[in-house]
Amino acid sequence: MTQQDEGLGIAEVLVSMLMLVVITLAFLPVLTGTLQLSADSSRLTTASGLADARVSDIRARTAECGAFNGTTTTTGYAGNGAALRTTVTCPSTLPALAPVLVTVDDEASGENLVTVRDSVWMKG
């Protein structure tokens, strides 16, 4: 056996470590982008759930049209503040369909996350 066949030298180990670092750094932007997309998706899903719950609440209490008209509440979601705005335009004669608009905005950035337009049958 010659001296070259005895194993890896320090140069080979350093080159392989350098290659590993380069490959890892190449994948780093992909990983951080994926984490950001996951966080954004979670925010939008939570905001959609808040808006859906608000519309469901209005549907459950159809005799109280005026109670929802122009109400604004603030609630927390996913560790952040969300402005949940609800506008129910009560028809002049009941029973009738009332247009409902629910928006959820991120309080920190002011960004609109979700807008839901619906109609709810108000009994009066």
Closest C-alpha to 119, from 92, 101, 103: 101
Higher pLDDT, 20 or 69: 20
**What single-letter amino acid sits at 24?**
T
Query: Is the residue at 1 inside a domain?
Result: no
User: What pLDDT is stored for residue 58 in this prediction?
Assistant: 85
Tokens of 89: 């335009």
As for how many domains the chain has, the answer is 1
pLDDT, tens digit (0-9, with 9 covering 90-100), for 52-105: 988 898 888 877 776 765 545 555 454 567 888 888 888 888 888 989 898 988
Cis peptide before 29, with omega less than 30 degrees from 0?
no
Query: Is the residue at 2 inside a domain?
Result: no
How far apart CA 12 and CA 18 sit, in angstroms, is: 10
User: What pLDDT is stored for residue 35 in this prediction?
Assistant: 93
The DSSP output letter for 10 is H
The domain containing residue 47 runs over which residues?
8-122
CATH of the domain at 34: 3.30.1300.30
User: What pLDDT is stored for residue 78 in this prediction?
Assistant: 46
CA 31 to chain centre: 19
